[in-house]
Amino acid sequence: MVLIVITSRYDTLWEDYYSSYKEVASPHRKPGLFKWLYKSYIFLHLSCVNSSSIYKLADFKACLALVDTAIDDCCDNASFIEENGGDAFSYEMLSILYNADKIVSGTYTPSKRDLENLYIKTTFNIFSDFLKNYLICLPRYYNFKNEFFLSMRSVAESMEFSYLLNRNKVAYPYFLVVQNKGPSTMVAVLSILDLMSSESFDASELGKAIALFNMADIVAMLNNAVNTWKKEIVERDYSSPVISLALEKKIIKFSDFDNLSTEKLEEKLLPLSSLVNDDLNRKILLMEEFVETYEIKSFDALRYINNYRTYAFESQKKNKEIS
């Protein structure tokens, strides 16, 4: 008898998904981004997670980051949105996140017309496959699924906020931009994956844990802003905290994106990137104050915070090397 062993073409699930996503993705979405995120997620996990689950969870988190990226591009990349159909396209992509729970139950599918758009179809198929075949298999999925889907809707709301700000060119105060954009980095969502994989986490501490995750979301979002603001000038993503701070302080105007060179805009915004980085460090200190006040026993909260401090340092270092 001959034994036939069927193996995957890829070592990780995210690579499998990326092989489909790359056919429709915005040109600057290279595999190196997700490879780096995957390696980061091996490091970024709660201490209550069993060591045998770390690599699988890092892979799952990279899969969700891919979906997050795919939908984010439909809310803050003006030219990409226009190429794919404008408002209707962006809102159908947002609906995929808003209806994650209904995708799992099988009660939500994009319309036949929307699925004719290959980008929508590809993103939906990836997300649906992950939710139905991998997420629900996590040991404590049913314990924390409601918090997961609530956090997923918060991600969608954050992206919708960015979309409306960009479309309407509204100069919101910096603090409100930070407050609304925090969930966009999915840290809370990904941390809940850890809870779903932890047998030792005490569910009575869920409220304190979620509060800490939401604070980490803002730290990650500000870190992302410090690293990507130059790219966001090109994309005309006015929801960038660096750009929104410049608009609030009247250092730049919306019309400057039409009248000034990219180099001149970078020159004007450079000092503000340092201010946003200072805010990032203050937010980390607030996280430390939080865990001193609200003790969490199920996992090492200070280690969790230090992981994100290190992540911020390493990602900014990587960004400088690339620049």
Question: Tens of pLDDT along 29-65?
Answer: 999 999 999 999 999 999 999 999 999 999 999 999 9
pLDDT at 68: 95
Return the pLDDT at 261.
95
31-322, superfamily in CATH?
Farnesyl Diphosphate Synthase (1.10.600.10)
Contact between 13 and 60 (Cβ < 8 Å): yes
Q: What pLDDT sits at residue 7?
A: 41
All structural domains of the chain with their residue ranges: 31-322
Q: What is the DSSP string of 54-121?
A: HHHHHHHHHHHHHHHHHHHHHHH-HHHHHHHTTHHHHHHHHHHHHTHHHHHHT-----TTGGGSHHHH
The SS3 call for residue 41 is: helix
Give the number of other CB atoms < 10 A from CB of residue 295.
9
3-state helix vs strand vs coil in the chain, percent to 5: 75, 0, 25
**CA torsion, points 195, 198, 201, 206, in degrees to nearest 10?**
10
Q: Strand, helix or coil at 283? A: helix
Quick check: 86 pLDDT over 60?
yes
Q: What is the pLDDT of residue 319?
A: 57
Residue 321: per-residue pLDDT:
46
Q: Could you give the C-alpha distances from 97 to 92, 124, 282, in angstroms and in order? A: 9, 9, 31
pLDDT in tens, 203-259: 999 999 999 999 999 999 999 999 999 989 988 899 999 999 999 999 999 999 999
pLDDT value, residue 313: 65
Residue 133 has pLDDT above 70, yes or no: yes
List the one residue out of 43, 59, 46, 42 whose CA is nearest residue 201: 46
CB distance 227 to 316 below 8 Å: yes
CA distance 68 to 131: 14
- What is the spatial distance between Cα 317 and Cα 323, in angstroms, rounded to a whole number? 10
pLDDT at residue 77 tops 90: no
Q: What is the pLDDT of residue 320?
A: 54
Claim: this prediction has a pTM higher than 0.85 = yes
Q: How do residues 262-283 score in pLDDT, each as one tens digit? A: 999 999 999 999 999 999 999 9
Q: What is the pLDDT of residues 199-215, one digit of tens each?
A: 999 999 999 999 999 99
Residue-wise pLDDT tens digits, 293-318: 999 999 999 999 999 888 776 766 55
Helix (H, G, I), strand (E, B) or coil at 275: helix
Q: What is the pLDDT of residue 70?
A: 95
**322, pLDDT greater than 50:** no
- pLDDT mean across residues, the chain: 91
d(CA 117, CA 141): 32
